[in-house]
Structure 1
Amino acid sequence: PYKDLSDRKGVVGYAIDLIGFEYKFEAAFWYVFRDTLIVDTLENARRLIGGLRMVTLEGEVIEKSGAMTGGSMGRNSGLSFAAAEKDKLFKIAEQLTEFESRRNTAIKKLDAVEGHIADIKREIHEFEKEISKKEMIFEEIGGRAERLTQLIEAKNNELEQIEGERAKLREEMEQVASRKVEVEGRSKELEAEIAVLDEKLSDSEVPELNKQADHIDEELRRLDGRIRDIEADLNALNLDHEYASKKIEDDRQLIKEMEEKKSTHRERVAEFKAKIAELEFNLGEKQRREKELTEELRDMQQKRALKQTEYNLAEKDFASVRSKLDDADKAMMVLEATLNALVDQTKDLKEELVRRGIEEVEDVPNYETVSTRIASIEKAMERLEPVNMRAIDEYDEVDGRVVDLKTRRAILFNEREQILSRIDQYETLKKDAFMETFHGINEPFKEIFHELSDGSGELVLDDNDEPFNGGLTLRAQPKEKTLQRLEAMSGGEKSLTALAFVFAIQQYRPAPFYAFDEIDMFLDGANADRVAQRVKKAKGKAQFIVVSLRKPMIEAAERTIGVAMQENNITSITGVKLR
């Protein structure tokens, strides 16, 4: 019913879209909010004046006419702390952003849950509609049964009338049959006289009787056909009655099943609501776990990228060496082929010498012998073409490269073993340092917690053997109280537990100074005095700056600075040295 302005600057949304309510109260909420638009600032609201009622986040109300009411404006004080206020504003802005993100997430989850509930309601509505249809069909079948009963009674009455008429027709048929027998007997007696009496009989009653008999026979056939039709109608009506009865029974059974399904769906709706609550809880846990896994995955992806880069470089070098090795293998094959050819040629020459009876001598051969040998060598060389003349040099280069790569591989393997050994050493050192710190903080925590609360407390690891695989639990049991979770403690107990942990860390590894802001605000007088004495006890290792309004803390301080607000927003500062 209103236009979409979500793309306009500063528009948060319509008020009716930003609140949750049950669907049945929609008319009431629409009457209250109507087209009220929520805008972040008054400046952005001025750009949209006209036709809409707007409210800013500061509370200013801009009517459709342009009139502005309400809101609040900050006052400029005489003395301001701009930097501190700016930091606070930044923190508030970050918190607003975080809350807005959480709100959007909650709205999305709520929309999903409402969508699921709407689907279930729609399914229930469909079942109710189907049940209503079945009930209407059942009522219609009941009405049809009454009409069929009336129709059957009418047909039965008509059948009784037909039976009466049929009885009368049977009597007439019997009479006609007897008369027919008489006539047939008489016709047999008169057959001999037919030829003579044809002219005389032309004026007699016999032809008329024959016509009447034919008419009666035709009427009997018609009545027999009518009786068969009526019996067929009765059979059809009986079948309809049986079908209607069966249909009524089936519909009753179906209505019963629908009622059972309806109750079952109601139970399922309740189960779905419980399951929705459980899923929302699990969703929060899974989102928290997802953030942790995202951080771990990001670190693993960076490590994987580095390893992949190293692997690609090594693979590239290996491919280059492999290619050169293949070329060297080919050159070796060519040389082996040349060697085999020369061996064959030598063998042929020796056989030729033996065949010709020439003895091998060390003397210089004649011209023909040399020419023959040169020709045979040229033929052998032609068979070996093309020949890589640099095969031996390339083989030497590849062999040198292989030796170099094997050396480098051995160096990398040794470096890898050294790195893994160092990683193990670092893990051991990390674990030892952690356990040393853990025990160094745990022991003071036990003492300080007992000093502050007269109770017992300690730090517990989920996995003592592998502390980085689990978490750390802080167990605290104040005096005369049961062991309980930190969330179940009161405000004062939480403050004492947190302060005991801070003082334990300070005792293990002190910092130059500490700034505490009203740490005794939730404590009673006795506990506030204990905290003040603890601060006073720890002052030898560090300087403490404490903001407090409690008497025990002020009395335990070496120097007190008082800050008060006077008239006209003027701050007055006083200092007193306590002995």
Structure 2
Amino acid sequence: QRARIVERIRDDYDIDIDIVAVAPHLTPAADSVPDAAPDADPIPDDRIELETRIEELRRKLASMTSVNMEALRESEELAERLATLEAQLADVTGGKESIEQLIARIDEESRRLLGDTIETVRGHFRDLFERVFGGGQADIVLEQGVDLLETSVEIVARPPGKEPRSISLLSGGEKTMTCVALLLAIFKSRPSPFCVLDEVDAALDEANVDRFGGVLRDFLSSTQFIVVTHSKKTMASATTLYGVTMEESGVSKRVSVRFEQTAAAAHPSSRAA
């Protein structure tokens, strides 16, 4: 029986076991037998118990998965990929910090420039408002406690003889004059050679048209205005007049008149008369 068991162990597990038959009278004395390892399992003498033990060990071996020989290579590849991703993450993090620092510097410079511009425009707006209305006061009010780049802007105006109020509560002509004063205040802070005004005097009466024309004349030393208007007083303030007429249906014709040339041509005839 033991021979069969040993043969089965040799066939199943490729383990060689030497069988030594020892006669009872050749059994060495108890004191000459070396002590077994304290943690070694005793070998059962019963065949059934031994076969049961073998079957249990066989089931344990069957439940164990095979060793993956590619695990070391896959581990090295994953380690390399991890190092690459960590380097990329470091680059992205550094780029993000650089961009955030750049945005912070741009925001700081923008706040400084915007604050200086608002103060400059506020001063011009107050002066031009008084000139356009012949008195009164106006101001540019910013929302308190809010970042300058995100704050709201409110225009407060007080025409002569009236209480300060928001621009939305003014009449049509007052709104127009206030907007003209604000527009020219912004333009005065950053002037340019040309400025186009499209019927900004449409809601103005004759007195306000005169003030409007007087304000525009103050800018003529550095700026040329192109004004689209139907007001005769505004036309009279211009040096050159361009008219568009339609003599034939669907055909537009431009007519231009320079007031200086017309006046010079009229003087000889008057002297002759």
User: If the length of structure 2 is used for normalisation, what is the TM-score?
Assistant: 0.61
SS at match of 2:138: strand
SS at match of 1:526: helix
Q: Give the distance between the partners of 2:81 and 2:251, measured in 1 at CA.
A: 84
1:43 alignment counterpart: none
Q: In the TM superposition, what whole-angstrom CA distance separates every residue of 1:89-127 from its partner, at most 9, and x where no partner exists?
A: xxxxxxxxxxxxxxxxxxxxxxxxxxxxxxxxxxxxxxx
Q: Give the distance between the partners of 2:116 and 2:126, measured in 1 at CA.
A: 16
If asked which structure has higher relative contact order (CA below 8 Å, sep 6+), I would say 2
1:501 matched to 2:182: yes
Moved more, 383-392 or 511-520: 383-392
Q: In the TM superposition, what whole-angstrom CA distance separates every residue of 1:321-376 from its partner, at most 9, and x where no partner exists?
A: xxxxxxxxxxxxxxxxxxxxxxxxxxxxxxxxx99xxxxxxxxxxxxxxxxxxxxx
SS at match of 2:218: helix
**Paired residue for 1:448, among 108, 128, 148?**
128
2:165 alignment counterpart: 484
Count of aligned positions: 201
1:396 alignment counterpart: 76
2:154 alignment counterpart: 473
User: Larger strand proportion, structure 1 or 2?
Assistant: 2
1:461 matched to 2:125: no
**Paired residue for 2:211, among 524, 530, 555?**
530
User: Larger helix proportion, structure 1 or 2?
Assistant: 1
1:484 Cα offset (Å): 1.8
Q: Give the distance between the partners of 1:565 and 1:401, measured in 2 at CA.
A: 77
1:500 Cα offset (Å): 0.8
1:554 matched to 2:265: no
Question: Which amino acid is 1:428 matched to?
Answer: E
SS at match of 1:515: strand
Given the superposition, is the C-alpha separation of residues 558 and 386 from structure 1 closer, same or farther in structure 2, using an over 3 Å criterion? same
SS at match of 2:165: coil
Percent identical pairs in the alignment equals 27
Given the superposition, is the C-alpha separation of residues 503 and 385 from structure 1 closer, same or farther in structure 2, using an over 3 Å criterion? closer
Bigger radius of gyration, 1 or 2? 1
SS at match of 1:538: coil
Q: In the TM superposition, what whole-angstrom CA distance separates every residue of 1:171-194 from its partner, at most 9, and x where no partner exists?
A: xxxxxxxxxxxxxxxxxxxxxxxx
Given the superposition, is the C-alpha separation of residues 382 and 519 from structure 1 closer, same or farther in structure 2, using an over 3 Å criterion? closer
Moved more, 434-443 or 381-390: 381-390
Given the superposition, is the C-alpha separation of residues 528 and 394 from structure 1 closer, same or farther in structure 2, using an over 3 Å criterion? same
Alignment gaps of 5+ in structure 1: 1-353, 356-380
**Paired residue for 1:436, among 116, 122, 125?**
116
CA contact (8 A) 1:463 1:469 kept: no
**Paired residue for 2:86, among 406, 411, 415?**
406
1:512 Cα offset (Å): 4.8
SS at match of 2:156: strand
CA contact (8 A) 1:475 1:483 kept: yes
CA contact (8 A) 2:245 2:253 kept: yes
1:503 Cα offset (Å): 0.9
Q: Give the distance between the partners of 1:573 and 1:395, measured in 2 at CA.
A: 84
CA contact (8 A) 1:562 1:574 kept: yes
Q: Give the distance between the partners of 2:259 and 2:71, measured in 1 at CA.
A: 97
SS at match of 1:459: strand
Given the superposition, is the C-alpha separation of residues 482 and 408 from structure 1 closer, same or farther in structure 2, using an over 3 Å criterion? same
Q: Give the distance between the partners of 2:175 and 2:65, measured in 1 at CA.
A: 93
Q: Give the distance between the partners of 2:80 and 2:173, measured in 1 at CA.
A: 78
1:427 matched to 2:107: yes
Q: Give the distance between the partners of 2:86 and 2:249, measured in 1 at CA.
A: 85
Question: Which amino acid is 1:518 matched to?
Answer: E
